[in-house]
């Protein structure tokens, strides 16, 4: 009975390699497959110009999926991100209304609002012992209602300079895209090198055990959902920058779209396993896929079908791995 | 004792309708290993949960490390040095060993970020001190249960545990793993750590404990040094009456006729390698071997819940190369799985629903169920098997382990008139209920069923079974009956390696 079998041949390198989750290998393989297919099928696909475009376009999906990842790691789900994006986008442009002096306070205020609403999701889930699916679905409905009470139509506008976030380039690379990568790096550091980050994995793995270990489940959930809310608000703001104005329906569909990269990237819905690198790769996979299908002039409905197939396939492969382990 | 690490006086705790703990006293010294025994419901769990800060007592004094105290949370107790290693381990399977050890106080550098190198180094140091070669970077999910327990012990040591409470730690371990755990406990003792050890296996009390405290019905029966105890004295203290005989008498006549359940050179997965065995009407056959030797997998193969790669099974006279559970049930075979909560019972449903689940077709008409008949059947079985419950509508989750097991037995008896496979039928069950389960098993055999029993407890296998088949590494290493059926012989065969062992089918 040796606890871990370590044959003399198993070097540090092979051990390191063995620890790469299969899900990451699958996503990378899919990305490569997609790139090769795209190169063969379309001569406009494999160009640096197109890749830089996709890099820019992926920013909104990336930021909201990043927040979703944190929540899914706790074993929860955040279905309020779509309505949150709608609310924050229309609120941002409505409050700024073209006045450059208001940009900073409004942006800070809107992100804080997103964080506060997110915290509330986490705390309600914990203290009322309601499944997060229900809490965030209810919250989505409330937020959408508030959004529509605020305005039935796109409201206000933002100064030209504000669009730097979406269209600005630094050395030819999208600033929004770079900012998204920056957020992913911060999130990775947060998850792996802070106690709260580790607590997210612990709560997702076994909430009762985490409680018995002295980890505050309420605090951990409040932070995870709060970050998800804040990141959804940032997505809303980013979309205002991209479109020039808000929209009371801007976030429609994001609640489910944000889950796709998470599960494709190997974070399991039961919580406790996965990470942001998988989500990042998942975001690029989905963005590249949609980009290619656009080039091929394929109907949006086919995009849905293919996206669905990818989700089910990727997750099925991860489950298989779980059974063997 | 002046060196008492923990001292409990007049401890009482009630739950709605139950006085779970009634003025109990307990004192454990540094470096002492104390066994805490008693039937389920005797109050052991309540007592340790109070000591560990998970429950607040209604009345009574708790002193830890010389100071009178009342914990506000398990975490506070843990910080003071009380650690409980529950049977269901508190581990995070997708985190590494080091992360699990330091799950609630990771070492941090001056930027307030977790210092992974330091964490790994300290984890390695603790594991080495425990004499364990576990890799701190390994995911806990990939460890054996025994190694997982070790991770919990390491976690307790990391935070300077002064008292470690083990709640039935051996129920999930195989024989060799128990030895490792006991060696670990001896090390803890040598370091001056006090240990409270809960177990239903009395031989373990004698193997590891310095003294034993017996609880019954929430009251203290007594505390005695192990030197002054015998197994029968301990049992009579626990059940409150002299121990007549744990096991019912064995079958007197040799089994006759064709086997009711047989395996003919079956192979299935990595753990079943060419097993042949036969089970006859009216006999109880034991399947012994280490945990992980393939016993459970053989049961699954016989029942059809794991695919056969080669060979065939005979069920009630019909041979099948690809049996499936539905067929097996139809042929009168029942299978009581080892983890009743996950694979057996519908925990939140009531007793009646649980009992009738596999025979819904027989209760009522083609379209509608006859709920009255279902309740009647349940009431009858509650009486027959002495299930302690308020009635057919009692939810199974509220029953004790022994009574849950009886519900499952009741279920399978309704469907099975050929053979029953029982995987660890008395796991987590107290002595009194064990005796009742043994009696029921023998009664079923006398009614003509063939019964295959898998158990990790050697006294149970030897006391209950007419014949024992020993498995090692997926192969049959021998078969024992009559006078050959001793703990020593079973152990010898259980550690025999499959490749070098006896060929299949050789009877010892």
Neighbours of B69 (CB within 10 A): 17
Structure tokens, B131: 């004499």
Cα of B62 to nearest chain A Cα, Å: 20
Query: In this model, does residue A8 exceed pLDDT 60?
Result: no
Structure tokens, B392: 């057919």
- Compute CA distances B485 → B288, B446, B469, B490, B507, whole Å: 11, 21, 10, 7, 12
Give the span between the Cα atoms of B289 and B406, in whole angstroms.
25
C-beta atoms of B93 and A205 within 8 A? yes
Give the span between the Cα atoms of B490 and B227, in whole angstroms.
28
Q: Is the ipTM of this complex over 0.95?
A: no
Q: Which residues pair with B75 in a beta bridge?
A: none
pLDDT score, position A320: 53
Q: What is the mean pLDDT of chain A?
A: 89
Residues of B at the A interface, defined by Cβ within 8 angstroms: 54, 73-75, 78-79, 90-95, 99, 103-106, 108, 112-114, 116, 132-135, 137-139, 141-144, 146-147, 150, 176-177, 180
Query: In this model, does residue A325 exceed pLDDT 50?
Result: no
Cα of A26 to nearest chain B Cα, Å: 19
Closest CA to A203 of A194, A213, A193: A213
Check if the beta carbon of residue B251 is closer than 8 Å to that of residue B296: no
A112: Cα within 13 Å, side-chain hemisphere: 6
Cα of B234 to nearest chain A Cα, Å: 33
pLDDT score, position B377: 86
What is the pTM assigned to this prediction? 0.73
- Picking from B48, B76, B91, B103 by the largest number of A CB atoms within 10 A of its own CB, the best residue to mutate is B103
3-state secondary structure B103-120: CCCCCECCCCCECHHHHH
C-beta atoms of A1 and B138 within 8 A? no
- Beta strand ranges found along B236-297 (DSSP E): 261-268, 272-279, 284-288
Task: Tell me the H-state helices in B313-457.
Answer: 325-330, 340-343, 351-356, 371-384, 401-415, 431-446
C-beta atoms of A272 and B116 within 8 A? no
Q: Which domains does chain B have, with CATH numbers?
A: 4-239 (3.40.50.300), 245-332+416-508 (3.40.50.300), 345-415 (no CATH)
Which residues fall within 8 angstroms of residue B128, CB to CB, at 6 or more apart? Answer: none
Residue with more model confidence, A60 or B372: A60
Q: Considering only alpha carbons, which residue of chain B is nearest residue A198?
A: B103
pLDDT score, position B342: 72
Cα of B442 to nearest chain A Cα, Å: 35
C-beta atoms of A3 and B116 within 8 A? no
Helix axis angle, A103-127 to A81-96, nearest 10°:
150
The parts of chain B modelled with pLDDT lower than 70 are 1-2, 16-18, 40-41, 241-245, 497-508
The mean per-residue pLDDT over the stretch A73-90 comes to: 96
Residues of A at the B interface, defined by Cβ within 8 angstroms: 1-4, 6, 15, 19, 189, 192-195, 198, 201-202, 205-206, 209-210, 212-215, 272-273, 325
pLDDT classification of A323: cutoffs 50, 70, 90: very low
Going from N- to C-terminal start, the domains of chain A cover 61-256+266-273
Query: In this model, does residue A322 exceed pLDDT 80?
Result: no
Q: Which residues pair with A206 in a beta bridge?
A: none
Check if the beta carbon of residue A293 is closer than 8 Å to that of residue A302: yes
Query: In this model, does residue A1 exceed pLDDT 50?
Result: no
Give the sign of the dihedral formed by CA B497, CA B498, CA B500, CA B506. positive
pLDDT classification of A324: cutoffs 50, 70, 90: very low
Check if the beta carbon of residue B230 is closer than 8 Å to that of residue B243: no
pLDDT tens column, B191-208: 899 999 998 778 888 999
C-beta atoms of B180 and A1 within 8 A? yes
């Amino acid at each position: 009975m040796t606890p871990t079998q370590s044959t003399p041949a198993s070097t540090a390198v092979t051990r390191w390699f063995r620890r790469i989750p299969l899900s990451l290998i699958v996503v990378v393989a899919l990305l490569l497959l997609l790139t090769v297919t795209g190169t063969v099928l379309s001569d406009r696909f494999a160009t640096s110009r197109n890749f830089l475009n996709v890099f820019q376009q992926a920013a909104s999906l990336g930021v909201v999926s990043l927040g979703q990842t944190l929540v899914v790691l706790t074993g929860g789900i955040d279905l309020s991100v779509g309505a949150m994006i709608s609310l924050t986008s229309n609120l941002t442009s409505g409050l700024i209304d073209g006045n450059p002096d208001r940009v900073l306070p409004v942006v800070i205020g809107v992100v804080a609002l997103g964080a506060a609403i997110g915290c509330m999701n986490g705390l309600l889930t914990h203290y009322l012992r309601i499944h997060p699916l229900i809490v965030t679905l209810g919250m989505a409905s409330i937020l959408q209602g508030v959004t529509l009470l605020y305005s039935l139509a796109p409201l206000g506008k933002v100064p030209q300079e504000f669009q730097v976030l979406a269209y600005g380039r630094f050395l030819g690379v999208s600033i929004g895209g770079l900012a998204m990568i920056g957020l992913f790096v911060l999130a990775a550091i947060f998850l792996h090198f802070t106690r709260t980050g580790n607590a997210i994995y612990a709560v997702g793995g076994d909430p009762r055990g985490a409680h018995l270990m002295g980890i505050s489940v309420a605090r951990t959930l409040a932070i995870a959902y709060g970050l998800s809310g804040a990141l959804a608000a940032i997505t809303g703001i980013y979309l205002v920058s991209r479109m020039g104005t808000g929209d009371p329906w801007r976030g429609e569909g994001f609640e489910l779209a944000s889950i796709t990269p998470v599960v494709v990237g190997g974070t399991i819905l039961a919580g406790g396993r996965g990470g942001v690198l998988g989500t990042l790769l998942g975001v690029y996979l989905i963005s590249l896929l949609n980009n290619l299908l656009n080039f091929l002039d394929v109907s949006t409905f086919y995009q849905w079908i293919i996206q669905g197939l990818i989700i089910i396939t990727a997750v099925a492969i991860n489950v298989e791995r779980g059974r063997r382990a | 004792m002046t060196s008492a690490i923990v001292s409990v006086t007049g401890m009482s705790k009630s739950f709605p309708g139950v006085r779970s703990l009634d003025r109990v006293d307990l004192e454990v010294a540094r470096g002492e290993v104390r066994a805490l025994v008693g039937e389920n419901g005797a109050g052991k769990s309540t007592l340790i949960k109070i000591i560990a800060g998970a429950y607040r007592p209604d009345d009574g004094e708790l002193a830890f490390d010389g100071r009178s105290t009342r914990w506000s949370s398990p975490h506070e107790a843990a910080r003071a040095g009380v650690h409980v290693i529950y049977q269901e381990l508190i581990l995070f399977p997708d985190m590494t060993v080091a992360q699990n050890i330091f799950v609630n106080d990771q070492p941090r550098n001056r930027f307030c970020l977790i210092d992974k190198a330091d964490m790994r180094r300290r984890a390695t140091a603790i594991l080495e001190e425990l004499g364990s070669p576990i890799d701190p970077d390994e995911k806990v999910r990939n460890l054996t249960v025994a190694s997982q327990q070790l991770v919990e012990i390491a976690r307790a040591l990391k935070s300077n545990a002064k008292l470690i409470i083990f709640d039935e730690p051996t129920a999930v371990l195989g024989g060799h793993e128990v030895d490792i755990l006991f060696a670990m406990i001896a090390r803890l003792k040598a370091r001056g750590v006090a240990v409270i050890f809960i177990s239903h296996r009395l031989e373990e009390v004698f193997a590891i404990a310095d003294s034993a405290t017996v609880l019954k019905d929430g009251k203290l029966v007594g505390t005695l040094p192990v030197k002054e105890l015998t197994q029968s004295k301990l049992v009579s203290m626990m059940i409150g009456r002299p121990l007549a005989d744990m096991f019912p008498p064995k079958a007197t006549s040799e089994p006759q006729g064709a086997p009711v359940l047989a395996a003919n050179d079956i192979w299935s997965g990595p753990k079943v390698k060419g097993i042949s065995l036969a089970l006859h009407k009216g006999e109880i056959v034991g399947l012994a071997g280490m945990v992980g030797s393939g016993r459970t997998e053989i049961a699954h193969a016989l029942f059809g819940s794991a695919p056969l790669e080669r060979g065939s099974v005979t069920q009630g006279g019909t041979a099948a190369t690809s049996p499936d559970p539905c067929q097996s049930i139809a042929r009168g075979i029942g299978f009581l799985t080892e983890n009743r909560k996950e694979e057996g019972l519908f925990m939140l449903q009531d007793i009646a629903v649980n009992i009738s689940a596999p025979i819904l077709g027989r209760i009522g008409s083609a379209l509608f169920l006859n709920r009255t008949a279902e309740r009647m059947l349940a009431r009858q079985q509650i009486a027959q098997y002495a299930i302690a419950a308020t009635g057919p509508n009692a939810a199974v989750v509220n029953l004790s382990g022994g009574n849950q097991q009886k519900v499952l037995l009741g279920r399978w008896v309704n469907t099975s008139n050929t053979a029953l496979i029982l995987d660890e039928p008395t796991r987590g069950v107290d002595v009194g209920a064990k005796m009742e389960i043994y009696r029921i098993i023998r009664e079923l055999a006398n009614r003509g069923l063939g019964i295959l029993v898998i158990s990790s407890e050697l006294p149970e296998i030897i006391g209950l079974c007419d014949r024992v088949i020993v498995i090692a590494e997926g192969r049959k290493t021998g078969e024992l009956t009559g006078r050959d059926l001793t703990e020593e012989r079973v152990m010898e065969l259980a550690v025999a390696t499959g490749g070098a062992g006896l060929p299949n089918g050789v009877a010892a």
